[in-house]
C-alpha cells in the first residue's frame, strides 16, 4: 500500500511513519519547510515540502490512501479561530478534493477528543455520537472539519474514518505538555507544581495510538459514503494525579509533586473518558 501522509514530522506522525514502514507500506509525506521529525526515523519516507493548501497532482500518483494527521495549533495558547478554521477546515477540505480528483478514495483522519468539549462531562464513557460542544478555537475547527469532511464523504462516496484521539503521551510530545514536563522535573530533581489533579482522563501511549491507525488501513467495516468515527483510548481512566504519581515513582524522582499549587484552567472539563 502507498500512503499519502500529512503531519509526518509531528508527534504522532513520526511514530506512525516507523510503524507503517515496519508493516511494509510506502509513504509519501508532506512536511512544512524546515520542520524536523520528533523522533529518530528507521527509514525516511518520500518527503514533500509544502503546506496543506498547495496544489498537488503528481504527488498523489499511485497513492491508495490519504492519512491526515496534520493539525494547526493543537496546544495552548491556541491560534485565532480564523486561522484554525482555515488550516484545519478549509485547507484540509481543499486537500481532500484534490486527492479525490486524483483517484484516492480512502481516507483516515486524526480527530480530537476535545471536539466533544463540555459534552464529555455528561458521560462516564463518551460515545462517538455524543454532541460536539468544543470550547477552544482549535477544537471548534476540528469539529467543523469532522462535519465538513463527513459531508464530502457522503457526496463523493469515499471511504472515510475519523479516529478521535484521547490523552496521548510519549517520546516526541510537545515539551510543554504534562508527560514531558513531568519527566523533565523528575529527572532534574525538581518539585512539580500542578493542579489538584482531579481531572479524569484516558491516557494512551503514542505507540498504541499509531497501532490503531495502522490497523485502520484495512478499512474493515468502512462503507463508501458512510463516515466512520472511532474513539482511540486505553480503556483505563485515571486522574491526572494518579498518572503523575505513577510516573514520578517510575522515574524515582527526588523532588515532590505539589498538587493544588496551580489553578484549573477556565472551562476545564473534569472528565474525558471514551467509550471504546
Helix (H, G, I), strand (E, B) or coil at 80: coil
**pLDDT at 265 (0 to 100):** 86
Q: Which of 36, 34, 28, 84 is nearest to 56 (CA)?
A: 28
Side-chain-facing half-sphere of 263: CA atoms under 13 Å: 3
Mark 130-169 as b/e (b = at least 16 C-beta within 10 Å).
bebbbbbbbbbbbbbbbebbbebbeebebbbbbbbbbbbb
- For the chain of 276 residues, list the mean pLDDT of each consecutive stretch of 10: 97 97 97 91 95 92 97 94 98 97 97 95 96 96 98 98 98 96 98 97 98 97 98 97 98 98 89 94
Q: Which of 175, 183, 168, 195 is nearest to 272 (CA)?
A: 168
Q: Which of 200, 235, 114 is nearest to 165 (CA)?
A: 114
Domain annotation for the chain: domains and CATH numbers: 2-169+203-232 (3.40.50.720), 178-200+236-272 (3.90.25.10)
| Alpha carbon distance 70, 35 (integer Å) | 12
Q: What is the pTM of this model?
A: 0.96
CA angle 148, 151, 157 (to 5 degrees): 135
| Alpha carbon distance 187, 34 (integer Å) | 30
* Total Cβ atoms within 10 A of residue 13: 26
C-alpha cell at 263: 489553578
CB 60 within 8 A of CB 102: yes
Amino acid at each position: 500500500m502507498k500512503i499519502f501522509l500529512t503531519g509526518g514530522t509531528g508527534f504522532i506522525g513520526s511514530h506512525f511513519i516507523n510503524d507503517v514502514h515496519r508493516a511494509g507500506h510506502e509513504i509519501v509525506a508532506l512536511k512544512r519547510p524546515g520542520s524536523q521529525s520528533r523522533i529518530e526515523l528507521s527509514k525516511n519516507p518520500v518527503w514533500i515540502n509544502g503546506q496543506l493548501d498547495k496544489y498537488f497532482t503528481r504527488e498523489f500518483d499511485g497513492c491508495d490512501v490519504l492519512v491526515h494527521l496534520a493539525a494547526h495549533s493543537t496546544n495552548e495558547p491556541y491560534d485565532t479561530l480564523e486561522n484554525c478554521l482555515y488550516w484545519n477546515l478549509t485547507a484540509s477540505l481543499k486537500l481532500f478534493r484534490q486527492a479525490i480528483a486524483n483517484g484516492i478514495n480512502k481516507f483516515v483522519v486524526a480527530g480530537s477528543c476535545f471536539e466533544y468539549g463540555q459534552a464529555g462531562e455528561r458521560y462516564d464513557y463518551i460515545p462517538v455520537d455524543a454532541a460536539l460542544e468544543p470550547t477552544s478555537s482549535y477544537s471548534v475547527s476540528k469539529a467543523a472539519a469532522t462535519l465538513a469532511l463527513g459531508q464530502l464523504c457522503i457526496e463523493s462516496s469515499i471511504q472515510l474514518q475519523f479516529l478521535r484521539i484521547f490523552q496521548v503521551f510519549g517520546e516526541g510530545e510537545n515539551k510543554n505538555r504534562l508527560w514531558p514536563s513531568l519527566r523533565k522535573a523528575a529527572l532534574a530533581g525538581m518539585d512539580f507544581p500542578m493542579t489538584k489533579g482531579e481531572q479524569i482522563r484516558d491516557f494512551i501511549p503514542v505507540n498504541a495510538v499509531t497501532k490503531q491507525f495502522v490497523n485502520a488501513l484495512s478499512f474493515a467495516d468502512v462503507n463508501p459514503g458512510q463516515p466512520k468515527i472511532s474513539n482511540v483510548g486505553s480503556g483505563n481512566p485515571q486522574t491526572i494525579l494518579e498518572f503523575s504519581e505513577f510516573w514520578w515513582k517510575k522515574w524515582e524522582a527526588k523532588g515532590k509533586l505539589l498538587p493544588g499549587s496551580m489553578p484549573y484552567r477556565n472551562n476545564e472539563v473534569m472528565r474525558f473518558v471514551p467509550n471504546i
